[in-house]
Structure 1
Amino acid sequence: MSQQTTIRKLAELVNTPVEKLLVQLAEAGMKFSGPDQVVTSIEKVKLLGFLKRAHGKADPATAEADAPAKITLNRSRKQEITVGGGGKAKTTVDVVVRKKVTLLRVDNGTGAPPTDERSEVLRKLEESRQRNLDEQQRLAESDRLRAEQIERTRREAAEAEAARLEAERVAKAASEPEVEVRKPAPGGHGRPAPRAAEPARAPVHDAKHKTRGSHAMVAGPEDDDRASRFAGQMHLSAADRARRGAGAGRGKPKGPVRRQSDQSRTGSGFMRPTAPVRREVAIGETITVADLAQKLALKGGDVVKALFKMGVMVTINQTVDHDTAVLVTEELGHVAVRAEGTTAEDLLIAHVEEGQGEKVPRPPVVTIMGHVDHGKTSLLDYIRRTKVASGEAGGITQHIGAYHVQTPKGVISFLDTPGHAAFSAMRARGAKLTDIVVLVVAADDGVMPQTIEAIHHAKAAGVPLVVAINKIDKSGADPSRVKNELLAHDVVAEEFGGDTQMIELSAKTGDGVDDLLDALGLQAEVLELRAVPTGRANGVVIESSLDKGRGPIATVLVQGGQLQKGDYVVCGVQYGRVRALFDETGQQVQSAGPSIPVQVLGLSGVPDAGDDFVVVEDERLAKDVAQQRDAKRRESRLVAQPGNRMEDILAQMGDGATQQTLNLVIKADVQGSVQALRDALTGLSNEQIRINVIGGGVGGITESDAQLAATSKATIIGFNVRADASARKVIENQGVDLRYFSIIYDVIDQVKQIASGVLGVEIREEIIGTAEVRDVFRSSKFGAVAGSMVIEGVIRRGKPIRVLRQDTVIFEGELESLRRFKENVDEVRNGTECGIGVKAYNDVKAGDKIECFERIEVQRTL
């Protein structure tokens, strides 16, 4: 027996409130007293027809006829039955009962009589159709009258034009004398023969008249419309009208048509030049072959061919110098002139000169230099009362850090430069930016190579030197020995009759730090440091990096003016609008004045460390200057080297040179590290091997970097960065050599061993597993515990780890605990969840990656 449908169940099926369904049933003419009454199939169909009529989707006259004659309902009911028991395992079985119910429509065969409502709807529909038909007829009649009026106007204009032309022809014929040539008739003795009668001229306005003259456009309206499309253009001359109208009223010719163009009449013909065209070509210091070909109006292949004949082997995308471009231009028969200077740079210089104003005293910029592990960062840390050294790899500063601090002696901006020899270029930049150099020398270690190098940088920049003799609290400290060793490098203490202040202090206990601040304040007063505090800002980029979430970030030191949020800046070959400014504590600020370092967001790309930045008035000038600088830098980089000449290549082939080339791709976390690694590694080249850095940049190792290394057979060096998934796939498939480093010593030592040809034991870091942090839990015993999923390899207890955030190393340490649920385990493999406790680090966040690695010794072989 089929189950009946009530109003409540029907409302649930159609997802409609019960009250609304009762109202719709009442409007359809079916009265129900409650939601539990049964609704029959006929009543459902009647309600459906009413709703369709209400929404204009069905014809009321055929709604009853379109009702389905049969409705089939499929019903299923699912139950769970437990089978088993009595010592046996219990099993749950799903039992599904399906029913099919077929409902037939009850029809008496007479058909329902039309109701008043249906009659009213039919009557309104018929009225609407009649109104539409009347409107269409009215519009058709209006269009016909308008067409007749246009045709009448066109015909009258054509007749008037034809009459005027006929009158001109008759007047011209009457004014010219008639010349007759008479032949003597046979036997007529020279008497003229009688003239034959002229045939009657056809009427001008004959509708069937077909002429080849200029009157073809006056054919009757029953002719082709092409014949009369120029009839109303009174401004055309008779010759143009004859040219356009000739053949316009005729059909297509059966034979081939030969077009002839009268260039003297239309003036549209192309005249071949009678002499070669000599062009004046403006050439700068460098120019690409493609640009030179465009200026010469030649194909690029022709210019390349001419250069090959001159012995210069270049491609269309390479750049040639000014002299070579002038020679090939003159060889091709053109004149070369020197291009004028860049207009955008001139506008920028004038723009900067406008913003100058009155100078006022400014805070000093102090650079701290010295040898590795002599206490530079610890001294700055004591002054700032923060922990800077804890964030560095092995306590070694890898980047330039810029900070401004409020001391009892006033505001002082500090630059902390790395002490390692590879960062010579970075320290040189620091010396150029600074007003005072603080040379930190350990009292127990004395003068070291980087100490001497820092002295040379300070002297080359002409910056006053203040010596801080650190670590006097240690047992082996000997400040007198340090002062005597500095005498050999022309650094004489005031007590020895010199002009260099030497302060004995301890960065650990704080003894003597106040005396150092007093010495810096005194030196700043002597220098009388001044700058313009208002107007457009200018300064220098100290450091730059690429952040995955915030984009390019540049740490700049403002040297003059006021840098504000929203300013347009030019920074080397990059430009942009300042979206945000951050100080050294990470707090957002609205502006920065002279001698204040800030981080800038909003540049179009990562600028090079050491680039100047200038605030300009609008974005257009900033973009023009940046693009011209970039084009000039690209052209100078692509200039054809002397080795590209055919003679040089042949000479090298004859020499049989066997020098090997080691190609490297360097990716680091900041721009300064890229430059330092590039300079340090290329300096290791010798006669047997040449180290060539073919690419580098800031940020993680991408797929394009891996493709570049695979194509050029280069080794990728990742300094505090990692490769993403797409890059790792290319590296594995192509067999690219990828090496990760976190300390610059290891990079230089490995490359130096290869370049020197020294075989020995190589220590490599092999990543054995990576886990992704899904959530962080707090434990009273271990602190922050990272709930992680192992996504690659295996995580083993006792192995060192690194914490990565956005493919950049933020911490290196070791595992404190490794657990599966509540049990300690020795290793966790790929695809398994685990809990990881990182020793002495509680800043793990969801989304970080924990990298487990091991150091292995590999014996080098030939």
Structure 2
Amino acid sequence: MTQVTVKELAKVVNTPVDSLLQQMKEAGLAHTSADQKVTENEKQKLLTFLEKGSSPKADKSKKITLQRKTTTTLRTPGSKTISVEVRKKKTYVKRSAEEIEAEKQKDLAKLQAEKKAKEAAQAKAQPAPAVKKAESAAEKPVESKVEPKAKPKAKPVAEEASLPPVDITLPVVDEVVKPAPERKKAPAKRGEDDERRERKGASRVGAKGKRGDDDEQLSRRGGRNRGGKAKKRNNEHGFHSPAGPIVRDVQIGETITVAELAAQMSVKGVEVVKYMFKLGSPVTINQVLDQDTAVLIAEDMGHRVSRVSDNIIEEEFAESLVVDGESFHRAPVVTVMGHVDHGKTSLLDYIRRAKVATGEAGGITQHIGAYHVKTEGGMITFLDTPGHAAFTAMRARGAQATDIVILVVAADDGVMPQTIEGIEHAKAAGVPLIVAVNKIDKPEADPDRIKNDLAAHDVIPEEWGGDTQFVHVSAKVGTGIDELLESVLLQAEVLELSATPSAPGRGVVIESRLDKGRGPVASVLVQNGTLRQGDMVLAGVNFGRVRAMMDENGKAIQEAGPSIPVEILGLDGTPEAGDEATVVVDERKAREIALFRQGKFREVKLARAHAGKLENIFESMGQEEKKTLNIVIKTDVRGTLEALRGSLEDLGNDEVEVCVVAGGVGGINESDANLALASNAVIFGFNVRADAGARKIVEQEGLDMRYYNIIYDIIEDVKKALSGLLGTDVREKIVGIAEVRDVFRSPKLGAIAGCMVTEGVVLRNRPIRVLRDDVVIFEGELESLRRFKDDVGEVRAGMECGIGVKSYNDVKVGDQIEVFEKIQVARTL
């Protein structure tokens, strides 16, 4: 049985010797010195004692300490910055089930005691039955004396004055009041006390007023009996308490505040707040609730709920847009999709006889482009969408606004991830698909492999019995372009596309940007009706009159019919890509709907902000806060901003995250720089630059501002920054292993292990572990490393050596000495 001393045991468990002796004393062990031996049974007894939680350390496990450190920067008038650090520390104690149950019993006993005391007080306040009977008996003789006194009878003044004031009853009020003036004129033989008593009695009678025959009138006047107490003729009253709870009809829209909900239920707002707290959702009186949450609260509180629509204005506006007119055939809207560098833009360049690809940064398309071309068979409108993975949302909007999708696949590359996404978007939009196998002129092209790969994704060619047309093209030399256009026009005839040119213009916003000289510029694809210069246009939450209208070549036009893409100027802001653009009759109606949409958007955004659950407080308190990289983004167009925001916010993990503090369209101004300074954010400019004011703030405050024109570079730089926030991991690397063949004793160094190096290299200044039967029994460092009689720095595999282990003499034959080193490895996402 292995025995160790108390000192050695304290070193193994990493506990001070004094603390270990105190714990052993509490466990009932008779150890008082550090040199005493500890057996296995005593170790087990100590471990059992510690597991029961009797030590102070067990009490600490029930406590969670939250420490928060906030660092702010103050600027002095001398342009100096002072860092202010605020540290807060809170400790939360989690009680056991026994403590909670004991506190409940204590509260219950307290409530019962209060209830008994209240009942005793009420019983003491009520008069006894015997007293009530005596009072009723005392009242009867008084009433019998009243009747004879009501008759007119002459009484001497002295006799009337001799009666005590308590015997004066209400029926003889007139007898007491009438003689009063005569007594003042006649010489009275009474003293001043009698006169004062008479005046006091008259004032009391006057205060009571003249008694009537109606008991109800007496009760309203507050009549009192002789004892000065209220005399209750009848215990009945006009108020009747309700027999049950009142059920009210509550109408709830898409959003409603807590105060409005409480008002409809005729309860105080505090009651709704308390109810939400019980459900685990702390709210305020002015917080906005969504419809489902409000319905749940009202139904649980016992009221009838009816859902109402807040879109009355929108519904009336939609009904006003229905215009009857003659329909005509319109040109098809074709969206070109595909993977990066598969030749989408080059294909459109050949069709349009233009060089658009040469103007794109990095050789990729980063905006949605719209063009219309005239062919021998008719006009076709093309939408070119980017192929990079960050523009998934932009490609989805292109599929929703299109009639036909051309999927471009490179014959030498095959089916790629963005190719599969294009297929999914086309299927979700329910539009037909035409596959253009591009780069057919290359020697390594393999069109049959493309068909096999696409067949695995339910895209079956027509020659195989499917419904998808496959056209072999070459955007470089122009092979198959005419066949591709014929396929598009043939598919358009099958779809029987039509529109009403006489109706007000309606379309979809493809892209929007903020031009420094012209203001907000929106690219709109007209889907129905005719859009004219001077029309009032409503696009999402923005509106304005069309001041100018240009085609894709920048040429000014006066009107645009169905399937024509145009750029319009005059909106009050940059609408979101994908918003519906509609011509409105007057400006007042457009402003009303735009303001309604803005308010609705704000309410829905507030309703979605949901507080954390109270029951998860212990779980969240113990966790460390995430490290956040704050970013301010400014781009040239709205679609790129959305794609960048979505891509960057998807980065990160449980420890680090990206927070886009603000994003907008246009150049970087002073407001953006000040916002970045206040939030410690990095400024990213995509195809935009900062003005003089913003550059001055950036230089003075030392802000980090970077310009980009390719989305790959932004994503890579943000990944590197997040990896830097993660820090490094410390890992162990086994350098070498030596097997103990014999043990020698040295008077100076103690036990020396004669070893054979079996793996790697044994280095002198490295930490080691001693393993026995593949179990670590000691961890320390080498004291000496010799080969024969010479001190050496390293010994390689297959060589013998002598190893002296520092502070350890229990080395045995067959043990293994493992030499390792600790290295730091940078963490990545």
TM-score by length of 1: 0.52
Matches within 5 A, 1:520-539: 520-539=488-507
Which of 663, 685, 702 aligns to 2:652? It is 685
- The residue type paired with residue 374 of structure 1 is H
1:330–1:537 CA distance, 2 compared to 1 (3 A)? same
Query: Structure 2 matches for 1:403-418, cutoff 5 A?
Result: 403-418=371-386
2:642 paired residue among 675, 678, 699: 675
Q: CA separation of 1:694/1:390 partners in 2, compared to 1, >3 Å: closer, same or farther?
A: same
Give the aligned partner of residue 413 of structure 2: 445
Aligned partner (choices 550, 553, 562) of residue 521 of structure 2: 553
SS at match of 2:426: helix
One-letter amino acid of the structure 1 residue matched with residue 341 of structure 2: D
1:397 maps to 2:365 = yes
Deviation at 1:493, TM superposition (A): 2.1
For 1:320, give the aligned amino acid. Answer: L
Of 741, 744, 749, the match for 2:708: 741
Q: 2:551 aligns with which of 557, 568, 583?
A: 583
Alpha-carbon contact 1:314-1:644 (below 8 Å) kept = no
Amino acid at match of 1:636: V
How far does residue 656 in structure 1 lie from its aligned partner after superposition?
2.1
Shift in Å, 1:383: 0.9
Contact 2:627 2:725 in 1 (8 A): no
Cα-to-partner distance string for 1:43-76 (whole Å, 9 max, x where unaligned): xxxxxxxxxxxxxxxxxxxxxxxxxxxxxxxxxx
Report the more deviating stretch, 670-679 or 335-344: 335-344
Structure 1 stretches of 5 or more lacking a match?
1-181, 188-274, 761-858
Structure 2 distance, partners of 1:311, 1:369, is 47
The aligned residue for residue 717 of structure 2 is 750
Equivalent residue letter for 1:534 = S
User: What is aligned with 1:347?
Assistant: 316
Q: Which residue of 1 is the match for residue 432 of structure 2?
A: 464
Matched, 1:369 2:337: yes
1:717 is matched with: 684
2:28 paired residue number:
none
TM-aligned CA deviation for residue 286 of structure 1: 2.2
Amino acid at match of 1:486: L
Q: Shift of the alpha carbon at 1:584?
A: 0.5
User: Superposition pairs for residues 377-388 of structure 1, below 5 Å?
Assistant: 377-388=345-356
What residue is the counterpart of 1:152 in the other structure? none
Match of 1:321 among 290, 303, 319: 290
- Please name the residue that 1:628 is paired with: 596
Contact 1:686–1:755 under 8 Å retained in 2: no
RMSD of aligned Cα (Å): 4.1
8 Å Cα contact 1:531-1:594 kept in structure 2: yes
What is the 5 A alignment of 1:507-518?
507-518=475-486
Note if contact 2:656-2:726 (Cα within 8 Å) is conserved in structure 1. Answer: no
Give the match's secondary structure for 1:394. helix
**What SS is found at the alignment partner of 2:361?**
coil
Aligned-partner SS, 1:546? strand
Decide which moves more: 302-311 or 318-327: 302-311
Q: In structure 1, how many angstroms separate the alpha carbons of the residues matched to 2:300 and 2:726?
A: 55
1:702 paired to 2:669: yes
Letter in 2 for 1:286: T
Does 1:727 find its partner at 2:694?
A: yes
What's the offset of the Cα at 1:645?
A: 5.5
Percent identity of the aligned residues?
Answer: 59
Name the amino acid aligned to 1:536. P
Query: Which residue number in structure 2 is paired with residue 64 of structure 1?
Result: none
Do the aligned residues in 2 keep the contact of 1:398 with 1:418 (CA within 8 Å)? yes
Q: Tell me, yes or no, if the aligned pair for 2:281 and 2:611 is still in contact at 8 Å.
A: no
Distance 1:330 1:366 in 2: 50
Letter in 2 for 1:371: H
Q: CA deviation at 1:703?
A: 2.3
The one-letter code of the counterpart of 2:253 is G
| Cα distance between partner residues in 2 of 1:622 and 1:679 | 31
**Unaligned regions of 5+ residues in structure 2, if any?**
1-180, 187-240, 242-246, 728-824
Instruction: Check 1:326–1:452 CA distance in 2 against 1; reply closer, same or farther (3 A cut).
Output: closer
1:425: Cα distance to partner?
0.7
CA drift of 1:429 comes to 0.8
- What is aligned with 1:285? 254
One-letter code of the match for 1:284? G
The alpha-carbon deviation at position 552 of structure 1 amounts to 1.1
Aligned-pair CA distance for 1:676: 0.7
Change (3 A) 1:293 1:727: farther
Cα distance in 2 between the residues matched to 1:365 and 1:328: 48
The answer for the alignment partner of 1:455 in structure 2 is: 423
Distance 1:311 1:607, change over 3 A: same
Residue of structure 2 equivalent to 1:771: none
Contact 2:337-2:405 at 8 Å conserved across structures: yes
Deviation at 1:465, TM superposition (A): 1.3
Kept in 2, the 8 Å contact 1:370–1:376? The answer is yes
Taking structure 1 as reference, are residues 728 and 638 closer, same or farther at Cα in structure 2, changes over 3 Å only?
farther
Deviation per residue, 1:652-682 (Å, 9 max, x gap): 5434244333332222111110111112122
1:417 Cα deviation (Å)? Answer: 0.4
Partner of 2:448: 480
Query: Cα deviations across residues 760-781 of structure 1 (Å, max 9, x unaligned)?
Result: 9xxxxxxxxxxxxxxxxxxxxx
Aligned length: 498
Q: Once the 2 structures are TM-superposed, how far is the Cα of residue 752 of structure 1 from its aligned partner?
A: 2.8
User: Residue 615 in 1 paired to residue 583 in 2?
Assistant: yes
Classify the secondary structure of the residue corresponding to 1:642. Answer: coil
Which AA in structure 2 matches 1:321? D
Residue 321 of structure 2 aligns to a residue in which SS?
helix
CA contact (8 A) 1:288 1:635 kept: no
CA contact (8 A) 2:254 2:310 kept: no
| Cα distance change of structure 1 residues 575 and 289 upon mapping to structure 2, 3 Å threshold | farther
Deviation at 1:369? Answer: 1.0
1:322 CA displacement: 4.5
Q: CA deviation at 1:598?
A: 0.7
Shift of 1:759: 8.8
Q: Amino acid of the residue matched to residue 472 of structure 1?
A: I
Change (3 A) 1:290 1:384: farther
Q: 2:540 aligns with which of 568, 572, 583?
A: 572
**Paired residues of 1:753 and 1:759 also in contact (CA < 8 A):** no
Q: Is the 8 A contact 2:400 2:429 kept in 1?
A: yes
Give the equivalent residue in structure 1 for 2:508.
540
C-alpha separation in 1, matches of 2:582 and 2:433: 29
**What is the aligned partner in structure 2 of residue 836 from structure 1?**
none
| Shift, 1:727, TM fit | 2.4
